[in-house]
Amino acid sequence: MDGLTHIDFNKKFVALIAKNTLVAEEDIRPTLRFNQDMSMDSLDMANLVVEFENEFNVTFTDDEAEKIVTVKDARELLMKKLKPVL
C-alpha cells in the first residue's frame, strides 16, 4: 500500500475489527480475544482474516491465521507483513 502511515494503518485496522464484531472502535484493546471477548467463531475469524488480506494487500498462511487470538496478535502479524511498507 503506497503511502500507508502508522496512523492510517491503525484507523483501518480498528475499523475492520469493529465492522466484523459487535465491539465499538473506541473499545477495541490489544488484549481483547477474538473468540472469548468478541464472540467470534472460526468462520467469523476467517472472514476477518480475508478482510485484512484484502485491505492491506497481504496473505496469511493457515498457520499464521490460526495463531491470531488477540487484537495484539493480529496487529503484530499485520505489522510484520507490512514492515517494508510502514
- The catalytic site residues sit at 41
DSSP assignment string, 5-65: -HHHHHHHHHHHHHHHSS--GGG--TT-BTTTTT---HHHHHHHHHHHHHHHT----HHHH
